[in-house]
Protein backbone atom coordinates (compact mmCIF):
# COMPACT_ATOMS: atom_id res chain seq x y z
CA UNK A 1 0.00 0.00 0.00
CA UNK A 2 1.13 3.55 -0.69
CA UNK A 3 2.16 5.81 2.18
CA UNK A 4 -0.61 8.41 2.85
CA UNK A 5 0.45 11.93 1.93
CA UNK A 6 -0.60 15.14 3.68
CA UNK A 7 -2.06 16.95 0.69
CA UNK A 8 -3.26 19.86 2.85
CA UNK A 9 0.32 20.69 3.88
CA UNK A 10 1.52 20.42 0.27
CA UNK A 11 -1.23 22.78 -0.86
CA UNK A 12 -0.28 25.24 1.91
CA UNK A 13 3.36 25.26 0.69
CA UNK A 14 2.26 26.38 -2.77
CA UNK A 15 0.48 29.38 -1.26
CA UNK A 16 3.52 30.74 0.62
CA UNK A 17 4.73 34.08 -0.82
CA UNK A 18 8.26 34.50 -2.08
CA UNK A 19 10.89 31.94 -3.02
CA UNK A 20 11.25 29.01 -0.67
CA UNK A 21 14.67 28.01 0.75
CA UNK A 22 16.39 25.05 -0.88
CA UNK A 23 17.10 23.33 2.46
CA UNK A 24 16.21 23.63 6.11
CA UNK A 25 12.86 24.05 7.78
CA UNK A 26 10.00 25.87 6.07
CA UNK A 27 7.38 27.39 8.39
CA UNK A 28 3.69 27.29 7.56
CA UNK A 29 2.33 29.81 10.10
CA UNK A 30 -1.40 29.76 10.86
CA UNK A 31 -2.60 32.39 13.29
CA UNK A 32 -4.01 31.00 16.54
CA UNK A 33 -7.34 32.42 17.68
CA UNK A 34 -7.95 30.28 20.78
CA UNK A 35 -6.19 27.80 23.10
CA UNK A 36 -2.61 28.97 22.56
CA UNK A 37 0.38 29.91 24.74
CA UNK A 38 3.01 32.56 23.90
CA UNK A 39 6.53 31.14 24.25
CA UNK A 40 9.56 33.42 23.94
CA UNK A 41 12.67 32.59 21.94
CA UNK A 42 14.81 33.02 25.05
CA UNK A 43 13.26 29.76 26.26
CA UNK A 44 12.67 27.98 22.95
CA UNK A 45 16.26 28.69 21.76
CA UNK A 46 18.06 28.55 25.12
CA UNK A 47 21.63 27.47 24.45
CA UNK A 48 22.17 25.36 27.59
CA UNK A 49 18.75 23.99 28.52
CA UNK A 50 18.04 20.45 27.41
CA UNK A 51 15.17 19.69 25.09
CA UNK A 52 13.35 17.91 27.93
CA UNK A 53 13.64 20.97 30.17
CA UNK A 54 12.41 23.30 27.38
CA UNK A 55 9.46 21.03 26.62
CA UNK A 56 8.57 20.71 30.31
CA UNK A 57 8.77 24.50 30.72
CA UNK A 58 6.36 24.96 27.81
CA UNK A 59 4.00 22.38 29.36
CA UNK A 60 4.10 24.17 32.74
CA UNK A 61 3.59 27.56 31.08
CA UNK A 62 0.45 26.29 29.34
CA UNK A 63 -1.17 25.02 32.56
CA UNK A 64 -3.74 27.24 34.36
CA UNK A 65 -3.05 28.91 37.68
CA UNK A 66 -3.18 26.63 40.71
CA UNK A 67 -2.36 23.38 38.85
CA UNK A 68 -0.13 20.96 40.76
CA UNK A 69 3.33 20.85 39.14
CA UNK A 70 5.17 18.54 41.54
CA UNK A 71 7.27 15.65 40.29
CA UNK A 72 4.60 13.03 40.96
CA UNK A 73 1.83 15.21 39.52
CA UNK A 74 3.79 15.83 36.30
CA UNK A 75 4.78 12.16 36.00
CA UNK A 76 1.12 11.16 36.27
CA UNK A 77 0.19 13.67 33.54
CA UNK A 78 3.08 13.18 31.05
CA UNK A 79 4.83 10.05 29.72
CA UNK A 80 8.29 10.99 31.10
CA UNK A 81 9.48 9.27 34.27
CA UNK A 82 10.03 10.89 37.67
CA UNK A 83 13.84 10.93 37.36
CA UNK A 84 13.77 12.70 33.99
CA UNK A 85 11.19 15.22 35.23
CA UNK A 86 13.19 15.90 38.42
CA UNK A 87 16.35 16.56 36.38
CA UNK A 88 14.46 18.93 34.04
CA UNK A 89 12.99 20.84 37.01
CA UNK A 90 16.47 21.26 38.51
CA UNK A 91 17.69 22.71 35.19
CA UNK A 92 14.83 25.21 35.18
CA UNK A 93 15.60 26.18 38.77
CA UNK A 94 19.29 26.69 37.92
CA UNK A 95 18.47 29.09 35.08
CA UNK A 96 15.82 31.02 37.06
CA UNK A 97 12.69 29.83 35.24
CA UNK A 98 11.37 27.93 38.25
CA UNK A 99 11.43 28.53 42.00
CA UNK A 100 10.11 26.18 44.65
CA UNK A 101 9.76 27.37 48.25
CA UNK A 102 8.09 25.90 51.33
CA UNK A 103 5.47 28.24 52.78
CA UNK A 104 3.53 28.03 56.04
CA UNK A 105 -0.20 28.77 55.70
CA UNK A 106 -2.15 30.69 58.38
CA UNK A 107 -3.57 27.38 59.67
CA UNK A 108 -0.04 26.05 60.32
CA UNK A 109 0.12 23.70 57.33
CA UNK A 110 3.37 23.74 55.30
CA UNK A 111 2.98 23.58 51.53
CA UNK A 112 5.38 23.85 48.57
CA UNK A 113 4.66 26.88 46.39
CA UNK A 114 5.98 26.78 42.80
CA UNK A 115 6.58 30.02 40.88
CA UNK A 116 7.30 29.94 37.13
CA UNK A 117 8.62 32.95 35.17
CA UNK A 118 8.58 32.84 31.37
CA UNK A 119 11.41 35.43 31.03
CA UNK A 120 13.68 35.52 34.11
CA UNK A 121 16.27 37.75 32.41
CA UNK A 122 13.73 40.59 32.36
CA UNK A 123 13.60 40.58 36.17
CA UNK A 124 17.31 41.51 36.32
CA UNK A 125 17.01 44.54 34.04
CA UNK A 126 16.73 47.98 35.69
CA UNK A 127 13.24 49.39 35.67
CA UNK A 128 12.79 52.29 33.22
CA UNK A 129 11.98 55.61 34.85
CA UNK A 130 8.51 56.90 34.30
CA UNK A 131 8.43 59.31 31.34
CA UNK A 132 7.15 62.85 32.07
CA UNK A 133 3.62 63.47 30.88
CA UNK A 134 3.49 64.94 27.38
CA UNK A 135 1.32 67.94 26.66
CA UNK A 136 -1.20 67.81 23.86
CA UNK A 137 -0.08 69.48 20.63
CA UNK A 138 -2.47 72.42 21.05
CA UNK A 139 -1.37 73.25 24.59
CA UNK A 140 1.46 75.70 25.25
CA UNK A 141 3.86 75.40 28.19
CA UNK A 142 3.40 78.01 30.89
CA UNK A 143 6.60 79.96 31.56
CA UNK A 144 7.20 81.19 35.10
CA UNK A 145 7.22 84.99 35.57
CA UNK A 146 10.65 86.73 35.58
CA UNK A 147 12.11 87.61 38.95
CA UNK A 148 12.33 91.27 40.02
CA UNK A 149 16.13 91.31 40.12
CA UNK A 150 16.47 90.50 36.43
CA UNK A 151 16.01 93.48 34.05
CA UNK A 152 13.30 93.14 31.51
CA UNK A 153 14.17 94.05 27.93
CA UNK A 154 11.39 95.67 25.95
CA UNK A 155 11.37 95.08 22.23
CA UNK A 156 11.85 98.16 20.06
CA UNK A 157 8.95 97.34 17.83
CA UNK A 158 5.83 95.45 18.63
CA UNK A 159 5.67 92.11 16.89
CA UNK A 160 3.29 91.71 14.04
CA UNK A 161 -0.01 90.22 15.04
CA UNK A 162 -0.59 86.65 14.08
CA UNK A 163 -2.70 86.29 10.98
CA UNK A 164 -6.24 85.30 11.65
CA UNK A 165 -6.78 81.66 10.77
CA UNK A 166 -9.30 80.93 8.12
CA UNK A 167 -12.60 79.62 9.47
CA UNK A 168 -12.87 75.91 9.08
CA UNK A 169 -16.18 74.22 8.46
CA UNK A 170 -17.73 72.51 11.40
CA UNK A 171 -17.06 68.77 11.46
CA UNK A 172 -20.08 66.64 10.72
CA UNK A 173 -22.01 65.57 13.76
CA UNK A 174 -21.34 61.96 14.69
CA UNK A 175 -24.10 59.52 14.02
CA UNK A 176 -26.13 58.69 17.09
CA UNK A 177 -25.53 55.20 18.34
CA UNK A 178 -28.58 52.99 18.26
CA UNK A 179 -30.20 52.66 21.67
CA UNK A 180 -29.10 49.52 23.40
CA UNK A 181 -31.54 47.38 25.24
CA UNK A 182 -31.20 47.57 28.99
CA UNK A 183 -29.49 44.56 30.45
CA UNK A 184 -31.74 42.36 32.55
CA UNK A 185 -31.27 42.80 36.28
CA UNK A 186 -28.86 40.41 37.91
CA UNK A 187 -30.66 37.86 40.05
CA UNK A 188 -28.53 35.91 42.51
CA UNK A 189 -29.72 32.32 42.61
CA UNK A 190 -27.41 31.27 45.43
CA UNK A 191 -27.36 33.42 48.60
CA UNK A 192 -23.95 34.88 49.49
CA UNK A 193 -21.99 33.29 52.35
CA UNK A 194 -22.64 36.35 54.55
CA UNK A 195 -26.43 36.17 54.13
CA UNK A 196 -28.29 35.55 57.39
CA UNK A 197 -29.40 31.95 57.77
CA UNK A 198 -33.03 31.15 58.52
CA UNK A 199 -33.72 30.22 62.14
CA UNK A 200 -33.85 26.54 62.95
CA UNK A 201 -37.27 25.05 63.73
CA UNK A 202 -37.90 24.52 67.45
CA UNK A 203 -37.96 21.13 69.11
CA UNK A 204 -41.44 19.57 68.87
CA UNK A 205 -43.48 19.38 72.07
CA UNK A 206 -46.49 17.25 72.99
CA UNK A 207 -49.91 18.68 73.76
CA UNK A 208 -49.52 17.48 77.36
CA UNK A 209 -46.33 16.10 78.89
CA UNK A 210 -47.72 13.46 81.19
CA UNK A 211 -45.55 11.66 83.77
CA UNK A 212 -45.85 8.46 81.77
CA UNK A 213 -44.56 10.10 78.57
CA UNK A 214 -41.74 11.77 80.51
CA UNK A 215 -40.69 8.48 82.06
CA UNK A 216 -40.60 6.58 78.77
CA UNK A 217 -38.79 9.43 76.96
CA UNK A 218 -36.12 9.71 79.64
CA UNK A 219 -35.51 5.95 79.60
CA UNK A 220 -35.30 5.86 75.80
CA UNK A 221 -32.76 8.71 75.60
CA UNK A 222 -30.64 7.32 78.45
CA UNK A 223 -30.62 3.87 76.83
CA UNK A 224 -29.28 5.11 73.46
CA UNK A 225 -25.65 4.57 74.52
CA UNK A 226 -26.30 0.84 74.95
CA UNK A 227 -27.24 0.56 71.26
CA UNK A 228 -24.72 3.14 69.91
CA UNK A 229 -21.91 4.27 72.28
CA UNK A 230 -21.45 7.50 70.31
CA UNK A 231 -24.90 8.68 71.47
CA UNK A 232 -23.92 9.21 75.10
CA UNK A 233 -25.99 12.16 76.30
CA UNK A 234 -25.55 14.14 79.47
CA UNK A 235 -28.32 14.37 82.07
CA UNK A 236 -29.04 18.00 81.14
CA UNK A 237 -29.31 17.15 77.44
CA UNK A 238 -31.68 14.27 78.22
CA UNK A 239 -34.00 16.65 80.11
CA UNK A 240 -33.99 19.08 77.17
CA UNK A 241 -34.75 16.36 74.58
CA UNK A 242 -37.56 14.68 76.56
CA UNK A 243 -40.35 16.88 75.06
CA UNK A 244 -39.24 15.95 71.52
CA UNK A 245 -39.40 12.19 72.22
CA UNK A 246 -42.73 12.68 74.02
CA UNK A 247 -44.13 14.34 70.88
CA UNK A 248 -43.17 11.23 68.90
CA UNK A 249 -44.75 8.93 71.49
CA UNK A 250 -47.90 11.05 71.50
CA UNK A 251 -48.18 10.38 67.78
CA UNK A 252 -48.16 6.60 68.44
CA UNK A 253 -44.51 6.08 67.38
CA UNK A 254 -43.06 2.89 68.87
CA UNK A 255 -39.92 3.32 71.07
CA UNK A 256 -37.97 0.91 68.84
CA UNK A 257 -38.92 3.02 65.80
CA UNK A 258 -37.71 6.18 67.53
CA UNK A 259 -34.41 4.54 68.55
CA UNK A 260 -33.84 3.23 65.03
CA UNK A 261 -34.57 6.62 63.46
CA UNK A 262 -32.15 8.43 65.77
CA UNK A 263 -29.21 6.06 65.31
CA UNK A 264 -29.50 4.78 61.71
CA UNK A 265 -26.89 5.96 59.17
CA UNK A 266 -25.12 8.18 61.69
CA UNK A 267 -21.75 9.70 60.68
CA UNK A 268 -18.51 8.43 62.16
CA UNK A 269 -17.82 9.92 64.61
CA UNK A 270 -20.79 11.89 65.95
CA UNK A 271 -19.06 14.96 67.35
CA UNK A 272 -22.21 16.59 68.77
CA UNK A 273 -24.75 13.87 69.73
CA UNK A 274 -27.13 16.36 71.37
CA UNK A 275 -27.41 18.51 68.23
CA UNK A 276 -27.68 15.41 66.03
CA UNK A 277 -30.55 13.88 68.06
CA UNK A 278 -32.33 17.24 68.31
CA UNK A 279 -32.10 17.73 64.54
CA UNK A 280 -33.57 14.31 63.77
CA UNK A 281 -36.34 14.66 66.34
CA UNK A 282 -37.33 17.97 64.71
CA UNK A 283 -36.94 17.21 61.02
CA UNK A 284 -38.18 13.59 60.93
CA UNK A 285 -41.24 14.09 63.15
CA UNK A 286 -44.01 11.84 61.77
CA UNK A 287 -47.51 13.22 61.22
CA UNK A 288 -50.25 12.28 63.67
CA UNK A 289 -52.13 9.10 62.92
CA UNK A 290 -55.48 9.64 61.22
CA UNK A 291 -58.65 8.87 63.11
CA UNK A 292 -61.25 6.27 62.27
CA UNK A 293 -63.50 8.81 60.57
CA UNK A 294 -60.56 10.01 58.42
CA UNK A 295 -60.06 6.55 56.92
CA UNK A 296 -63.80 6.04 56.13
CA UNK A 297 -64.29 6.28 52.38
CA UNK A 298 -66.76 8.92 51.25
CA UNK A 299 -70.22 7.65 50.29
CA UNK A 300 -70.61 6.80 46.65
CA UNK A 301 -72.33 9.56 44.75
CA UNK A 302 -75.44 8.26 42.97
CA UNK A 303 -77.30 9.93 40.20
CA UNK A 304 -80.97 10.61 41.09
CA UNK A 305 -83.40 8.16 39.40
CA UNK A 306 -86.72 9.49 38.03
CA UNK A 307 -89.59 7.19 39.16
CA UNK A 308 -92.17 5.61 36.90
CA UNK A 309 -95.64 7.16 36.70
CA UNK A 310 -98.94 5.88 35.16
CA UNK A 311 -100.53 8.17 32.61
CA UNK A 312 -104.00 9.35 33.73
CA UNK A 313 -105.27 9.24 30.15
CA UNK A 314 -103.89 6.12 28.45
CA UNK A 315 -102.54 4.37 31.56
CA UNK A 316 -99.13 4.00 29.92
CA UNK A 317 -96.02 3.96 32.14
CA UNK A 318 -93.59 6.88 31.82
CA UNK A 319 -90.83 8.49 33.90
CA UNK A 320 -91.72 11.76 35.60
CA UNK A 321 -91.14 13.27 39.03
CA UNK A 322 -94.90 13.77 39.56
CA UNK A 323 -98.07 11.94 38.33
CA UNK A 324 -99.90 13.28 35.26
CA UNK A 325 -100.21 12.69 31.55
CA UNK A 326 -97.56 11.22 29.25
CA UNK A 327 -96.04 13.19 26.40
CA UNK A 328 -98.43 11.82 23.72
CA UNK A 329 -101.52 12.66 25.76
CA UNK A 330 -100.22 16.13 26.43
CA UNK A 331 -99.65 16.62 22.68
CA UNK A 332 -103.21 15.50 21.84
CA UNK A 333 -104.68 17.81 24.47
CA UNK A 334 -102.69 20.74 23.00
CA UNK A 335 -103.88 19.95 19.47
CA UNK A 336 -107.56 19.76 20.57
CA UNK A 337 -107.22 23.02 22.43
CA UNK A 338 -105.69 24.68 19.39
CA UNK A 339 -108.45 23.36 17.08
CA UNK A 340 -111.16 24.64 19.39
Average pLDDT, the chain: 79
Q: Is the pLDDT of residue 228 over 60?
A: yes
For residue 215, pLDDT over 90 is answered with: yes
User: Which among 78, 38, 82, 84 has a CA at the least distance from the CA of 58?
Assistant: 38
**For residue 139, what is the DSSP state?**
-
Q: Which long-range contacts (CB under 8 A, 24 or more apart) does 284-291 make?
A: 285/204, 285/247, 285/248, 285/251, 286/248, 286/251, 286/253, 287/251, 288/251, 288/252, 289/251, 289/252
* H-state helical runs in 205-300: 211-222, 224-227, 235-250, 255-263, 273-283
DSSP letter for each residue of 183-212: PPPP--SS--TTSPPPPPPPPP--SS--HH
Q: How confident is the model at residue 153 (pLDDT cuts 50, 70, 90)?
A: very low
- Band (pLDDT 50/70/90 cuts) for residue 62 is confident
What's residue 238's pLDDT?
94
Model pTM score:
0.36
> In this model, does residue 325 exceed pLDDT 80?
yes
Report whether pLDDT(155) > 50: no
Better pLDDT: 134 or 65: 65
Mean pLDDT of the region 285-304: 80
The length of the chain in residues reads: 340
* Residue 101 backbone phi and psi in degrees, to 5: -140, 145
The predicted pLDDT at position 187 comes to 62
List the domains of the chain with CATH numbers.
Answer: 34-122 (1.10.10.10), 211-284 (no CATH)
Amino acid sequence: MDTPQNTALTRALTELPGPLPARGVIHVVIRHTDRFTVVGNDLAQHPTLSTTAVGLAVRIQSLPQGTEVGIKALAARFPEGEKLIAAALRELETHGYLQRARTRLPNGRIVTRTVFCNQPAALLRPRAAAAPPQLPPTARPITPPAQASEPTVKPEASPEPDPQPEPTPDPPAPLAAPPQAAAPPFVRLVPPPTAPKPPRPPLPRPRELTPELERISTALLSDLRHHAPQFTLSEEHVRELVPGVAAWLERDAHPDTIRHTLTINAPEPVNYPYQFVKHRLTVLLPPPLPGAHDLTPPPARRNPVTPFQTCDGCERAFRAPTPGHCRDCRTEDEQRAAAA
